[in-house]
Amino acid sequence: MPESGKRGAKKSVLVVHGPNLNLLGQRETDVYGTDTLSDIDRQLSSLGAELGCEVETFQSNSEGDLVSRLQGAREEKDGVLINPAAYTHTSVAIRDAVLALGLPVVEVHLSNIHKREEFRHRSLLSDVVDGQVVGFGVDSYTLGLRALANLMARP
């Protein structure tokens, strides 16, 4: 089996889900769709296998835990896919953790944050990530993972 992460041939990706995304599929299905977080994680693992990436997923409602997990990714992972959820609009701590990563990072959002309330239009991560995919529901994550795989394949 090919070794994964950093030195291995297989790339290793951390998917980070922010607060309340553990409630997906149970409430606000008109905005966020009917897929649960486990459904999304399964889709990402299976797409990862197709793309030659090992996918680890992490969800937390706590800003400090999200920062700590991102710090850990620096030595272990080859890229990060992140939906910081509400912390997108407020968290300098998550922005700083992303800046310190030194890895390709793609930001995703299920909804089109630009079509929603004004406070959601601004992302504190937008200028420190490689790119964003917003507004396509679960496809935002799968499109984001494809883009991340391409970034990680660059010499």
Local structure of 52: helix, strand or coil: coil
At closest approach, how far in Å is the CB of 121 from ligand CA2? 9
- Of residues 106-125, those binding ligand CA2 (CB under 6 A): 109-111, 113, 120
Residue (of 149, 134, 17, 138) closest to 77 by Cα position: 149
At closest approach, how far in Å is the CB of 88 from ligand CA2? 6
12 bridge partner residues: 54
Cα→Cα distances 19→30, 53, 59, 152, Å = 18, 25, 7, 27
Q: Are 67 and 94 in contact (CB under 8 A)?
A: yes
Task: Tell me: does residue 28 bind ligand CA2 (CB under 6 A).
Answer: yes
Which helix (H) or strand (E) segment holds residue 130: the answer is none
Among 11, 32, 63, 129, contact with ligand CA2 (rule: CB under 6 A): 32
Amino acid identity of residue 146, one-letter, is: R
Cβ distance to ligand CA2 smaller for residue 74 or 116: 116
Task: Tell me: does residue 85 bind ligand CA2 (CB under 6 A).
Answer: yes
Cβ distance to ligand CA2 smaller for residue 5 or 139: 139
Residues that bind ligand CA2 (CB under 6 A): 20-21, 23-24, 27-28, 32, 83, 85-86, 88, 109-111, 113, 120
